[in-house]
Amino acid sequence: MMNLARDYAEKRDFIRMFVDAKVSIVDLDSGAEYHGEAKNLSGKGLMFEANFEPALDAELRVTVASMQSRMPPLVASFKVVRVIKKDDGMYEIAGELSNVS
């Protein structure tokens, strides 16, 4: 079996892809709807910016719009693992994806 060394700074299971796409967010507890901008995506997670502050461990449903009309949007369950308030008043929200369709 071949052992390939990772000689890049990112040593995650999945490499992050930088994206610039609209994301629709629904808080599954309250039903509140929000909108944001997806910034990076990996096989297990997503980071987006929005103007609301979800609680850590909040369960959301996210829909990331496709930039190509022939491709459906990414729809998934999302568990909030990090929230950082930015200087511009927006929030950087990162979390784990599951039930991706």
Read off the pTM.
0.81
Q: How many domains does the chain have?
A: 1
Distance, CA of 58 to CA of 64 (rounded, Å): 18
In a domain, 12, yes or no: no
Whether residue 3 is contained in a domain is answered as: no
Of 6-10, 22-26, 58-62, 84-88, the least confident = 6-10
Is residue 58 situated within a structural domain?
yes
Q: What is the pLDDT of residues 40-81, one digit of tens each?
A: 988 789 999 999 999 999 999 999 998 777 889 999 999 999
Yes or no: say if 22 and 34 are a contact pair by the CB < 8 Å rule.
no
* Domain span including residue 24: 17-98
- At 34, which CATH number? 2.40.10.220
Residue 2 lies in a domain: no
Q: Please give the pLDDT value at position 76.
A: 96
Integer Cα distance of 79 and 46 in angstroms: 10
Tell me, yes or no, whether 24 lies in a domain: yes
In a domain, residue 25? The reply is: yes
27: in domain:
yes
Residue 37 lies in a domain: yes
